[in-house]
Amino acid sequence: MRIFYTVSHLQSSAAEYLNHWAFIPTMGALHDGHLSLVQHAKEQGHSVIVSIFVNPTQFNNSEDLAKYPRTIYEDLRKLASIGVDAVFLPSVNEIYPEDGIVKSVHLGLEAESLEGHYRPGHFEGVVMVLRRLFEIVKPGHVFFGQKDLQQCMVVRRLIQQEFPLIQFNMIETMRELDGLAMSSRNERLTAEERIIANEIYQAMAKVSATDMVDSKIQILINELKTNGINTEYFNYVSLPDLVVVSNRAEAHAVVYAGYLGKVRLIDNLVFKELP
């Protein structure tokens, strides 16, 4: 497995892969969800490059950035064990050089609601880093996890508008046995919090299975609160624009975000095919 730290080293040493390989951008603290993205890329027959870069511009909360888990040696061991071809480990200066290569960001409707509302500036940071990474890595294919559904829609739009030769793949969320979506942030849950965290999945499963009016969803939100889970949003949405709708018939998915202790968890269930 080759490891690249700089743009120039990557581009001069991997010329034969450029515009062909599959790229999986990550912020590290890798779990089976990330590894399943690699497996999907390999099953499609691609050479695979993974980047690990904790992107400061997408954190609207400095404590969240400081506490984001960093497990680089363990990450590299996992990636090597599943046959990843290359890893890109850039520094902040390599991604955001002082000479202003980074362009400003204009986002579409899909970035405005939900995460866009609760984490101002988050998607601007995501698009900023991905645009830069796509220009550096020059992938033919990219793989993203459905757990970050809104991010997937934002990236899909970025690719349609600016990188039409890249093929976008959204891969189903990997879950723990009790239903909790795998996430790097789960590592920050206490043992007690981890036990109740799956209540988010159970509540989402109810809302995705039958049409529920707002007042019934509110009852579920209150039950979660009684158990220490403070909801930010819990809605039906239509895709690809993540517009909140009031009934299941108009919706493609149910989306959730909330705090369990100090840890912010997001999840979703898609129950209708993407347009």
Q: Catalog residues that contact ligand PAF under the rule CB under 6 A.
A: 25-27, 55, 58, 126, 129-130, 148, 151
Least distance between ligand PAF and beta carbon 180 (Å): 17
Q: Shortest gap between Cβ of 218 and ligand PAF (angstroms)?
A: 30
Nearer to ligand PAF, 71 or 202 (CB): 71
Instruction: Select 248 or 264, whichever has its Cβ closest to ligand PAF.
Output: 264
- For the annotated catalytic residues, the residue numbers are 34
How far is it, in rounded angstroms, from Cα 84 to Cα 132?
22
Is 106 or 215 the residue whose CB approaches ligand PAF more closely? Answer: 106
- Is residue 208 within 8 A of residue 214, CB to CB? The reply is no
Task: Please report how close the Cβ of residue 92 comes to ligand PAF at its closest, in angstroms.
Answer: 12
Q: Which is nearer to ligand PAF, 17 or 23 (CB)?
A: 23
Q: How far is the CB of 235 from ligand PAF (least distance, A)?
A: 21
266 neighbors 122 (Cβ within 8 angstroms) = no
Please tell me the distance from the alpha carbon of residue 73 to that of residue 76, in angstroms, as a whole number.
5
- Choose between 122 and 252: whose C-beta lies nearer to ligand PAF: 122
The least CB distance from residue 139 to ligand PAF, in Å, is 13
